[in-house]
Structure 1
Amino acid sequence: MLWAPLIVLLGTWCTGSSSQPVLTQLPSASVSPGNTVKLSCTMSSGTSISDYYVSWDQQKPGNSPRYLLYYHSDSTKHQGSGVPARFSGSKDTSSNVSYLTISGALAEDEADYYCAMWKSGTAVPHSDTDRWGSETKTPFAPLPQPGPCVQSSPVPQFSLWL
């Protein structure tokens, strides 16, 4: 059996202050090829995840990050162009957790994964041309009002083995 690490990093699309809510992830998990795995981002207590949009991105070695999806509710979500339906978003508001579910994990899913959250009413990026860094600005989908983002430094948080 081929074992390939799938490293999940918690990333950010915008700057913020230390007084904002913090996102955390479990340190590790494992899944066999063909099985389903849920990657989680937990928002710190004192803030309700139900008020936030959650975006997930995938980055493979040597490539720019690829936008996968964002999720706010079952009626307010967006799937990136060409992103398979086996990638899906969800929330557990009672636990203040957002999930990226990969149904039927494949070897090609080996990548870094990033999550970010925005207060409802904030512009949310959703484009396959998303880029991180100074050379390319992220395209945004307009939503009603700008608002603060929630961020965390991109530190390895989650290891998934296929």
Structure 2
Amino acid sequence: MRFPAQLLGLLMLWIPGSSGEVVLTQTPGSLPVTLGQPASISCRASQSLLHSNGNTYLSWFLQKPGQPPRLLIHLVSNRESGVPERFSGSGSGTDFTLRISRVEAEDIGVYYCYQGTHYPPHSDSAPNTNLPPVTAPLPTCAVGLGSRHRTS
């Protein structure tokens, strides 16, 4: 009869919301942009994302309607193959930023920051190429075209 109690104890280690879960806060929640202008999105973690191996597992994804999320940046600042140079990532510890130097129409969509340092597990050998499954909503920023105001 000890086995079920041990199993229950093991399962409790993986319950979301338990002590130690990292909370990500992304700002702004929506960002009206002008084509050709710069844009930036911030992501703040409730605790440091620096892993004991020296890496910081912070990634940025872009999701467009009807498509799966696309990995743009991994390990804070490393662009994935095929991602335009206008995208850059920076930050350390708990504060991170995604910058777009000149917004293009194809950049419109929902952006996600994602951490893999604490939970869920990550792969040291190869960064994730798909948005991993999570049990809580991810912070997002919806980037869309803003209205242009003209003065007469």
**Taking structure 1 as the reference length, what is the TM-score of the superposition?**
0.61
**Alpha-carbon distance in structure 1 between the residues aligned to 2:40 and 2:34:** 13
As a proportion of its length, which structure holds more helix? 2
Q: Where does 1:1-162 land on structure 2 (aligned, <5 Å)? A: 17-18=16-17, 19=19, 20-26=21-27, 27-44=29-46, 47-51=47-51, 52-72=56-76, 77-91=77-91, 93=93, 96-119=94-117, 122-123=122-123, 125-127=127-129, 130=130, 152-154=136-138, 157-162=140-145
Amino acid of the structure 2 residue aligned with 1:153: P
Give me the whole-angstrom Cα distance separating, in 2, the residues matched to 1:40 and 1:80. 19
Give the secondary-structure state (helix, strand or coil) at the position aligned to 1:89: strand
Cα distance change, pair 126–78 in 1 and its aligned pair in 2 (3 A):
farther
1:16-51 Cα offsets, whole Å, 9 max, x none, are 62131210112343332111111111112xx22444
Query: CA offsets per residue over residues 43-100 of structure 1, 9 Å max, x none?
Result: 12xx22444321111111111111111134xxxx43212100111110154xx31111
Corresponding residue of 1:136: none
Deviation for aligned residue 1:153: 1.0
CA gap of 1:131–1:31, structure 2 versus 1, over 3 A, is closer
Greater strand percent: which structure?
1
Structure 2 unmatched ranges of 5 or more: 1-13, 146-152
Matched residue, 2:6? none
Instruction: Tell me which structure has the larger Cα radius of gyration.
Output: 2
Give the 4+ runs in structure 1 shifted more than 4 A.
none
Identical-residue share of aligned pairs (%) = 36
TM-score (norm 2): 0.64
Distance 2:87 2:144 in 1: 17
Which one scores higher on RCO, CA 8 angstroms, separation ≥ 6? 1
What RMSD over aligned residues (CA atoms) do the two structures have, in Å? 2.9
Tell me the equivalent position of 2:148.
none
Give 3-state SS (helix, strand or coil) of 1:34's partner: coil
